[in-house]
Structures are given as structure tokens and as C-alpha cells.
A and B are shown apart, each in its own frame.
Chain A
Amino acid sequence: MKFLKFSSSGLHSDIESTTWCRIHFGRACSLLLESPELIAISRALCCIRKPNPRNRRRQHMDAKDILGLPKSFPGTQEKKPRQQKEPQRKPDGISREVYALTGGIAPLIPTIEVSHLKRRPVLDKEKITWQWLPFTNSARTDNLMLYHWVRVVNGVPPTGDYQFAKYNKSVDVIKYTDEEYEKYLTDSMWTKEETDQLFDMCERFDLRFIIIADRFPTSRTVEELKSRYYSVSRALLIARAPSVADVAGHPLVKEPYDMAYEMERKRALSAVLSRTKQQEIRDTEILSEAKRIMESRNASKGVENVDLPDDHTDIEITEKGTHVESPSPSSNMQPSSTAVPSAAITENASTPASLRMLRVYLRTHALDQMVQAASSNAGPRTIIRVEQTLSDLGVHIKPKVPTKAVCAEHLELRKEILTLFNLQKQLQNKEAEVSASRDTSFTEAPGTPKRSYRGDADRPFVSEAVGFGGERMGKRDQKRKAPGRFVDAPPSPPQSKRPRKLKASDG
């Protein structure tokens, strides 16, 4: 390692520096054999140098030098790895530089198949030649013979018609006789010659009316020409059909060409296409205005349904909720959702506003929302107490069969339990008050065995027998101690010392 060599110039031999190191580290480190520690040290030393995968063994050598360990294969050590690497470096088929791109290591999965690189095309299949041969085109009427290159397989030229002959399609233009014309097709606006010319042109130009209109001797518009053509065809169809019902399905019969409509449509289209930029802007403005009006109309309907005190945020929410084209359709999340703005809304209505917002929800979700709303001013400890009470009473914390009735009952039960806790708290406070005032007034009121709910407050329903049976005991107590006093405490020993004092003083 270069940095450990204390010579400033590179001319000093390695032996000198390593000797120095050997003196200091040699003894301690000679205990380090070919060990992971050695490799770790050499690796650590390597970090300072640029890692070069080819030099791993060389690094090991340097580390060993420094530590003064005997080199394992003296003499031929340097040459052998180099020899081994030389053939490694030159894999067949690929140039050295290309191989180096992969990091100089052979890929785990062989990706470059050397055999693929210099492949000759398979020669033992069919024999293919290209020949300059004449061909005929069935679409032609004049039997012209042209020549082209043809791919010949095994001496057999391809069969079949000229491949583009199939595209030679034309329109079937109905032909009428003079009698038919006399009978069905006379029209005030059109002479027979004109009609004949029209039909002839239709045939020639494959119903390309724009060209026909261009070349028509008398100036007629495209719509007029189309109208004449289609009405003639329609009349002929109907006339020739054995009954009207047969052709009723034919598109010409079902939807006849309406010249006035077509003209209007084209005019409208050109008007739309030729709108100026200003007009476009005006139109989009008007459309957005219309949208806003619709939205506000919907919103006002939505606000009517939700009777909350004027809460601007809620109105916005209803607008968003009823907005039909909401870009991101909100899905109804399960209880874990916090996106529903229920936290801020005080629950005065029978269904919280958040649920009214959702058009569809699950009953369990609704129950959770209402429970949350009901216990919004209760701390987490209280909630745990409520749940404990519920399980003591034998009720599932989340009802297994959440029908409407069950959910309502569940909710009511929870509310009642909360009321119970509140009352208990009030009672405690009142008692504390009373006992405080009693103490300060120094009166020796005949021992009123204080009931203290402190121990029991948290678990009133632990065992019904204790709770409700105790009442009887208390009453007996009462009769013993002081008539006229009321006691309905369970016979648990009073927690505070004061009652005991009073009892003692009673004596």
C-alpha cells in the first residue's frame, strides 16, 4: 500500500518499508494467519485505492507485505495468477474491449453466444431464385403483358392472380330503362338527358360527386346531383322490389337523402371550422358559465338536503360531492380513512353530514363514524373503558350482524355507557366536594361509611353478583350502623383513610 510506505519518493524499495512495518507489527500480526482478518484489513486498505478487480491478489500481497507475513507461494506467486488471467482476458469471438464492458468477468448467464456471431445462412432448405417474368392482370381489359421480378422457389413460379387485382372494385350504379324512367323517375327539375348524363358520370367516376359536379355540363351543386341520384336509385329499388317490406332494410330506403338537411349541415360545419379565435374563446367561456350555473343549481339542491349551521366548508364539500364530473372519483374507504371530513363536523343531525355526502357506504363504516362522533369529546382512556365495559357485558365491540336495528342499539348502548361514566365522574366530584367541606367544617357527623367508587369505578360490571348483591349487604350494614343513612356500596373496603377515621371515632 503506497500510503503506508514512508518513503517520499517512489524509488525506495518496498523491502525497506516493509521491514519497518514488520518490526512493529510483525509479532502481533504474525498470529494472523490466512484469516478473514487479513482479508478484512486488506479490503480496508483497498478502499483507499481505486478498486481494480484484477488486482485483488496483488492487494493481498501488499497487505501481507506490510504485516510481515510469509507469502504462501513464494517465487511463482506473481507469475501464476497473471498467467491464469491472461487466457481469461481473451474470450473467443468477442474483442477484448467489448468483454471489458461487462467488467471483465464472464456473465453469469451466457448472453453472447459466440456461435451466433459468425453464422452462415442455412443453405439446405429450399432453393430460392429471383426471375424476371411476365404476368397478367385480371383487372385489365386489354391483355397487356408486363414484366416484373418474381421470387421462384425450387424452380416453381408462384401461382395466382396479380395481387392487386382484388382492389379493382367499382360501384354498382343502377341502370334504368326508358319505360322505367317514364313511369317513376320524371322530375320537374331534371330532364331525361341530364339524368342520363348524371348516371353515366356516376358510373365513370365511381360516385365521386365532386368530380361529377365539376364536369357536369349544366352547373348543378353537389347536393342537387346527389339528391337526384339517390332519389332515382331509391325509386327504382322500391319499384323493382316485389314488396315494400323486402327493401325496407336497405339503407337507401330506410334513410333517404335529405338535400336541405345536407346543405344546412355543411354550412354549419364550415361555420364551425371557420370560427375565428375570438369566437372560440367566447364559446368556451359561455360553456364554462353554463357549467357553473348547473353546478350551483346542483349545489343549492344539495345544501337544502343537508341542514347544518352555515358552514362554508360544508357547502363546498357538498358541491364537490354532487359534482357529477368529479375528476377523481372518491371511493368509500373503510374505517381507516381520514379523508372524509367527519372530524370537524359536530353531530347534531341523525346522520352525520359526512355520511350524507357519500351516496353509498357500508353499515359498519357508518357505525364507526357515528361512534367516533359520539365519543369525540372523550379521551382515549375513556374509549378503552367503554370497550372494556362492552366486553364485560358480553357484547361484541363491533357487532357481528350489523343491521340497522343492531347498529342503532349498539350506538345507544355506547352513549349510555358514556353517560354512565359521566355520572360516575360527577358523583366522585360531588363526593370529593362534600368530604372536603366536611373536613373543613370539623363536624363529627355520625359515621357515614363512605362509599368510594374509586376502586370500582373502572369496572362496575366485573361480576354482577358482587355489584348487585353487595347492595343488600350494604343495607344490612346500614341498619346496623345508623338508621336513616343510605348506603348502597359494595362491601369493598373503602379506599381512603378518612372514612376509617370517622368510623374509629364513632367507636
Chain B
Amino acid sequence: MSSRRSRSRQSGASRITDDQIIDLVSKLQQLIPELRGRRPDKVSASKVLQETCNYIRSLHREVDGLSDRLSQLLASTDTDSDQAAIIRSLLM
């Protein structure tokens, strides 16, 4: 990979070894649902990192959407105290 050659030009403080990158990439691949089924040598490091970033961003967006919806629901419904108590006891 051409990226490995250019990596050696970095300053000593921020140098990341190839082994670390390979380790990181292989472990990240297990976490991301899209890349889990593929063979490790078929997927490049940059693709795995890109997919990780995209996956985290999509999770953020999902939580944003959910919190949006939740705030709307909470605004419309009035959860009174005994309902809340029931819910809390069942969630415990």
C-alpha cells in the first residue's frame, strides 16, 4: 500500500506501526455489521476506518431522530405519577 511508505515520513511522536493499524482494522471489522461477513484481507484499512466513521455518524443520527420523536411524544402525552411508578418498577 502506498500509504505505508508515506507513513514512515511522519515524526517519531505520532508514528503508528503497521501492526497496530492491522490490529485496529481487523478488530473494527468485527464490530461493523456491514463488514463482518467479508474476509479481512479483502477489505482495505482506509475502507474499514471510513465505514467505522460512517457507522458512528449513522448511530448519532439515529439517536438524534429518536430523541426528536421522544421529545414530541413527551410533549403530547402527560405521564402522570402512578403510570410513571408502574413503568419504573417494571423497568427495574
**Do A and B make up one complex?**
no
